[in-house]
Amino acid sequence: MVQISQKRNILFHIFDVSLNIVIIVVIVGIIRTFIVSPFQIEGSSMVDTLEHKEYIVINKFRYLFGSPNRGDIVVFIPPTDDSKYYVKRVLGLPGDKIVVRDGKVYLREEKGDTELNESYLSSSNQGKTYRFNSNGGISAGDTSEEAFDVPAGQYFLLGDNRQGSLDSRSFAYLGTHETAYIPEKNIKGSVWFVALPVTKIHAFQTPEYQL
């Protein structure tokens, strides 16, 4: 009887441990799928806001019941390659007309063009948002205008490193002009905070454009 009882206790202990492992795995899976998820930055397209090899945590829950705002830094699947994830900043919302001219970004309204105050850009990127050309590069110093009419349910995104970013400007040339825009379903979450290295831990807030 003692041996049977001991075996039952051992089996119960194994079952209890296994059940707890399954519960933990399910909870972690739910958290990573619907709430938060870690990513590592690759490349320099968001310098100086985000640096190469930094680890970030994205908030997926935020867009389950809401939509991206202008200025949000988001992780998304680009229209030109659905096997990758990119991180950029939302500049154009559905229905906007975004204009790139004279190295700056404008929102075209009935009253005229309003320059977006992008105080988060580094000094090396201020006033240097140029068009992407058909030769496969940024047209540095090009003061000509390019306008983007953002369709319903889609967004216009730019990297903070304006002279070294593949974003909505280049997607239009790498694919078709329609691929300049990112469908809302492709946006997987907003960047919540930098997690590593520990010396650079900080959270992000959506900037105010006072439009």
- Which residue did the predictor score with more confidence, 93 or 178? 93
pLDDT at 125: 95
Catalytic residue among 88, 104, 170, 190: 88
3-state secondary structure of 23: helix
Distance (Å, whole) CA 192 – CA 55: 11
> Is 60 a known active-site residue?
no
Fold adopted by 41-203: Umud Fragment, subunit A (2.10.109)
**Which residues, including other chains, have CB under 8 Å from residue 82's CB and lie 6 or more apart?**
none
Gap between the Cα atoms of 78 and 86, Å rounded: 7
Mean pLDDT of the chain: 86
* pLDDT for residue 177 is more than 60: no
pTM: 0.85
The amino acid that residue 17 corresponds to is: V
Give Cβ neighbours of residue 136 (< 8 Å, ≥ 6 apart): 173
Q: In 3D, which of 93, 91, 173, 97 has the Cα closest to residue 132?
A: 173
Residue (of 93, 203, 108) closest to 154 by Cα position: 93
Going 141 to 41 to 54 to 205, the CA torsion angle's sign is: positive
Please say if 45 is a catalytic residue: yes
pLDDT of 2: 47
At 132, phi and psi to the nearest 5?
A: -95, 135
Supply the pLDDT for residue 24: 54
pLDDT digits over 102-147, tens only? 999 999 999 999 999 999 999 999 999 998 876 767 777 787 899 9
The answer to whether residue 100 scores a pLDDT higher than 60 is: yes
Percent of the residues in the chain that have a pLDDT greater than 70, as a whole number? 80
Which among 5, 18, 44, 45 is annotated as catalytic?
A: 45
